[in-house]
Amino acid sequence: MDRVFIENLTVETVIGIFDWEREIRQTVALDLEMAFDIRKAAASDRIEDTLDYKSVAKRLIRFVEQSEFQLVETLAERCAGIVLAEFPVAWLRLRLSKPGAVRGSSAVGVIIERERQPEP
């Protein structure tokens, strides 16, 4: 399956478990790989036939900016759920990192993979 990707989408949000983290906005970065067959779009050269990565990015930015989760795990799971529910994506890999969260590292975070669940 082809993959459409978004790399290093940075967003300011409230994230963290400590009291001081609940009072500030911190940067998180998202990297996404989304399974999507691009052949129809490649043949037609029309945006209507592809996965509009700008729409995906704008939707995630809006959600993450408004969120106030404690854990990056929760934020990553919710972001994956939005993409799978609202866009024609069969599978995704999402990497969510929190730069500067641990002294001595450039970032910490999670990488998750999720598939669209079949309709019951």
Catalytic residue among 40, 54, 58, 98: 98
Residue among 44, 41, 60 nearest 2 (CA): 41
**62: DSSP letter:** H
CA dist 24 and 12 (Å) reads 10
Residue among 76, 93, 86, 29 nearest 52 (CA): 86
**How many helices (H) and strands (E) in the chain?**
3, 5
Say whether 98 is catalytic.
yes
94 DSSP β-pair partners: 32, 112
**Residues marked as catalytic:** 98
